[in-house]
């Protein structure tokens, strides 16, 4: 049998990584040989897998299993909201959907409440900056005396604060439109991503 090249062996290894973890090694071998046409003996392939500890990518399996467990937990939690025993939902897909939807709805309502708080915080911050700019007064800490003193805000200070507020407002608007169903998150950015961005901006403003 012809000697397998390093490139062919690496190709087989990478193809093996993406095969389903539940697939037996012997079946993996048959599929890989059928797909590549490489002349490799089964015992050679098995030796590579065993001695070189080839691992298959489990990330998709983990995601699927996590999603299943999360849905099961959501159904149980939803059953509690409905005041019924989760076991009574077995075989009733409509009831399971209703139970899970109750949980999802409660989460969305909590998100909307949190976003409302963020909107209020933003409004106060924007109002403060407006007053500082119009009145030309800002309270700053005097590092020598340790006391707060009123002084005229510099142009760079107002510009910097305005830039940060503008970025925060854009993220807040995006978050509101997604959470209230006005827009969909087609960009791939989730509401959690936007919340994290707002949190980072808040820390930067401190």
Question: What is 57-68 written as a DSSP string?
Answer: --HHHHHHHHHH
Residues with Cβ < 8 Å from 81, sequence gap 6 or more?
99, 102, 103, 106
Q: What is the three-class DSSP state of 162?
A: helix
| Helix locations, 144-190, DSSP H | 155-179
Rounded distance between C-alpha atoms, residue 130 and residue 38, angstroms: 72
Instruction: Indicate the DSSP class of residue 183.
Output: S
- pTM, two decimals, is 0.48
The stretches in the chain having pLDDT less than 50 are: 206
pLDDT of residue 15: 93
pLDDT of residue 92: 81
Rounded distance between C-alpha atoms, residue 102 and residue 124, angstroms: 34
| Helix locations, 37-92, DSSP H | 42-51, 59-82
Q: Which of 31, 34, 26, 32 lies closest to 13, judged by CA?
A: 32
pLDDT of residue 198: 57
Rounded distance between C-alpha atoms, residue 31 and residue 118, angstroms: 54
pLDDT of residue 192: 55
pLDDT of residue 204: 58
Q: How far apart are the first and last CA of the chain?
A: 69
Query: What torsion do the CA atoms of 132, 135, 141, 147 make, to the nearest 10 degrees?
Result: -140
CA atoms within 13 A on the CB side of 72: 8
């Amino acid at each position: 049998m012809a000697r397998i090249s390093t490139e062919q062996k690496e190709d087989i290894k990478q193809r093996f990584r993406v095969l389903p973890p539940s697939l037996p090694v012997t079946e993996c071998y048959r599929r890989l040989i059928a797909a590549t046409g490489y002349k490799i003996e089964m015992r050679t392939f098995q030796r590579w897998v065993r001695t070189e500890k080839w691992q298959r990518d489990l990330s998709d399996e983990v995601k699927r299993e996590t999603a299943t467990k999360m849905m099961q937990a959501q159904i149980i939690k939803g059953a509690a909201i409905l005041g019924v025993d989760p076991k009574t939902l077995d075989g009733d897909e409509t009831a399971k959907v209703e139970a899970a939807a109750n949980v999802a709805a409660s989460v969305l309502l909590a998100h909307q409440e949190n976003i409302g708080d963020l909107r209020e915080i933003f409004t106060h911050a924007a109002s403060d900056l407006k007053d500082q700019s119009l009145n030309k007064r800002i309270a700053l800490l005097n590092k020598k005396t340790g006391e707060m003193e009123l002084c005229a805000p510099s142009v760079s200070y107002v510009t910097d604060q305005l830039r940060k507020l503008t970025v925060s407002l854009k993220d807040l608007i995006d978050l509101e439109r997604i959470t209230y169903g006005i827009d969909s998150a087609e960009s791939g950015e989730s509401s959690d991503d936007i919340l994290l961005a707002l949190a980072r901006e808040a820390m930067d403003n401190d």
